[in-house]
Amino acid sequence: MEFDLIHRYFKTPFGRLARANADTVLVGIGDDCATLQLLPGHHLYTSTDTLVEGVHFFSDDSPHATGWKALACNLSDLAASGASPLGFTLNLSLPEINESWLADFSAGLLDVATRFNCPLVGGDTTSAGPNPSKTLSITVFGQAPITHRGFNRAHAKIGEEVWLSGTPGLARLGLLLEYQRRDRLAECCQGSELHQVQVLLDAMPAHLRQSAVIQLGTPLPRLELGVRLHGLASACLDLSDGLSGDLAHISKASDVSAVLVQSSLESMWRERWPEICQRADAAELLKILVTQTLKGGDDFELCWTAHPNHHDAIQSFGGGLHCVGFIEPGSGIWLQSPSADRTRVSARSYNHFAETQN
């Protein structure tokens, strides 16, 4: 039964992708070990993530989106390291065999795997026993030339600029919409924030709602960007826990402070939501959007620091990249207002006006 299941949902549907990568996947699903061939002069990169039903995804989420996201968030770790995918393994712990769930989940995985040319090379399939939740664990393998120094979080230097891809915070809007749809908005924001968020969600135009839902459900790992940033970015990470919390990792590891410029974060949102400028409450809404960007979570966009000499080269990659701050001596994350006041942003907290710098 188990072998049957592995064949039906994994070995067979992923067979074409494995064959197309026969020069990389020397041995794939079916043997004790997979054997992968690195290009000469390359390092192996690996990363793993686990998703638990009820914690990282809803039980009634579409299985296709669950499969997509499970692989996309792992590939995003390779992107943040500047690595290109070689393949991945999948560990599944299932309370029951639900054939239609498995078929859709496998299709979601295959869509991302095909899009980013990342073959499935092995895994493990077990019963969850009395545990009623599914657990999915993915390990990705990637490679980058040994000449790539890596994007160590400790490599941010004073005077460098802070950059973002896409519109971090968008996935959080998707999550808030999802909670609102389930009538559970109060579970993710309290007090005055709940009211602000309700106003924001009601003001969102259809195109923004749609992009927020897509960003949350089917994020695209920034693999191409990660490779293009070789030799340009110093520190880099992907935004899984929110801008303030994730940037705090860079600031701690590099022993520096990061200053985010409120007006730059607002311009980023105006680009995504151009009609906002015509609204009387635009200033209010933009403030709420910046707060949600700081809290964020699940965007899988990249955040990196780079020397200002590289500004034009990075800008020339095209739209959707935003220089939103800079690195200074000190510690922590700060938000700089248009009047140049600075407010400390507490990592992962929306109450970023709590402590003001003298």
Residues near Mg ion (CB under 5 A): 124
User: Residue 91 Cβ, how far from ligand ADP at the closest point, in Å?
Assistant: 7
Residue 169 contact among Mg ion, ligand ADP, none, beta carbon within 5 to 8 Å by kind: none
* Closest listed residue to residue 334, CA positions, set 265, 260, 264, 263: 260
C-alpha 344/C-alpha 180 separation (Å) is 30
- How far is residue 49 CA from its own chain's centroid? 12
| Amino acid letter for position 86 | L
User: Residue 122 Cβ, how far from ligand ADP at the closest point, in Å?
Assistant: 3
User: 3-state class of 53 per DSSP?
Assistant: strand
Q: How many CB atoms lie within 10 A of CB 195?
A: 10
Query: Please, are residues 86 and 141 in contact by the beta-carbon 8 Å criterion?
Result: yes
Residue 29 contact among Mg ion, ligand ADP, none, beta carbon within 5 to 8 Å by kind: ligand ADP
Which residues in the 104-133 window bind ligand ADP by CB under 6 A?
120, 122-125
Nearer to ligand ADP, 85 or 122 (CB): 122
Strands (E), 183-306: 233-238, 257-261, 302-306
Nearer to Mg ion, 124 or 271 (CB): 124
Nearer to ligand ADP, 31 or 99 (CB): 31
Nearer to Mg ion, 126 or 357 (CB): 126
User: 3-state class of 73 per DSSP?
Assistant: helix
Q: How many CB atoms lie within 10 A of CB 190?
A: 9
Binding of ligand ADP by 29 (CB under 6 A): yes
Nearer to ligand ADP, 47 or 215 (CB): 47
Binding of ligand ADP by 30 (CB under 6 A): yes
Binding of ligand ADP by 31 (CB under 6 A): yes
* Closest listed residue to residue 272, CA positions, set 210, 317, 225, 334: 210
Q: Which of 73, 79, 92, 212 binds ligand ADP (CB under 6 A)?
A: 92
Residues making contact with ligand ADP (CB under 6 A): 6, 10, 29-32, 90, 92, 120, 122-125
